[in-house]
């Protein structure tokens, strides 16, 4: 991994762990094992590097989700695979945690990839749910947009509840509850 990539990866990790204010250039350089001038050689400063890191985290989230969404199985099975894949519930979502960072949310450039990612995720889930409703897999009474929004909210809220309780089991219960609600709309054939 070259210096630029090490800087981005280190910033991603630090933003996830400490937030924007807690991610100092010194900490980034130490974690990346990079020299003092390297950050400014590759980036225009901390905001530019943070944007690259946030954008990379957002792209990774979308890529991993899309891999589940385009996998094999029924739509409900693919959504279930996405919701139940292994996650570090106590660490939280690397993108979702940024919504709680006032410095990220106050900066339109830093906020943009966060907002776009959750818009994409909600829209993508709504598309899948609409497809499942259209093909008869889910009942006609299911509202794809509302259900997609609820599923994203359950994931993000599950992280918050798990961190508050200090237990990943709380996150798993939230996902199980969402799946129970979703599978209640599966048409029996």
Cβ neighbours of 22 (radius 10 Å): 12
Domains defined along the chain, listed by start: 3-183 (1.10.357.10)
Rounded mean pLDDT, 29-36: 92
The pLDDT value given to residue 35: 87
For 152-189, how does the pLDDT look when each residue is reduced to its tens digit (9 = 90+)? Answer: 999 999 999 999 999 999 999 999 999 999 999 998 86
The pLDDT value given to residue 37: 86
For 65-87, how does the pLDDT look when each residue is reduced to its tens digit (9 = 90+)? Answer: 999 999 999 999 999 999 999 99
pTM equals: 0.92
Asked if residue 90 lies in contact with residue 168, where contact means CB atoms within 8 angstroms, the answer is: yes
Rounded mean pLDDT, 12-40: 92
The pLDDT value given to residue 189: 66
CA distances to 12, 32, 74, 182 from 155, in Å: 20, 30, 21, 14
For 84-143, how does the pLDDT look when each residue is reduced to its tens digit (9 = 90+)? Answer: 999 999 999 999 999 999 999 999 999 999 999 999 999 999 999 999 999 999 999 999
């Amino acid at each position: 991994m070259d210096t630029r990539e090490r800087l981005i990866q280190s910033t991603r990790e630090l933003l996830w762990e400490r937030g924007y204010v807690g991610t100092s250039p010194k900490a980034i350089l130490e974690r990346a094992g990079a020299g003092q001038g390297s950050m400014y050689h590759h980036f225009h400063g901390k905001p530019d590097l943070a944007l690259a890191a946030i954008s990379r985290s957002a792209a990774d989230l979308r890529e991993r989700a899309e891999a589940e969404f385009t996998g094999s199985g029924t739509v409900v099975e693919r959504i279930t695979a996405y919701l139940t894949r292994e996650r570090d519930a106590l660490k939280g979502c690397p993108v979702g945690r940024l919504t709680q960072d006032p410095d990220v949310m106050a900066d339109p450039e830093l906020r943009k990839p966060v907002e776009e990612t959750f818009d994409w995720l909600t829209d993508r889930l709504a598309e899948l749910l609409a497809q499942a409703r259209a093909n008869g897999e889910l009942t006609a009474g299911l509202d794809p947009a509302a259900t997609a929004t609820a599923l994203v909210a359950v994931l993000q809220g599950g992280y918050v509840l798990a961190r508050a309780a200090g237990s990943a089991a709380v996150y798993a219960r939230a996902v199980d509850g969402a799946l129970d609600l979703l599978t209640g709309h599966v048409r029996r054939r």
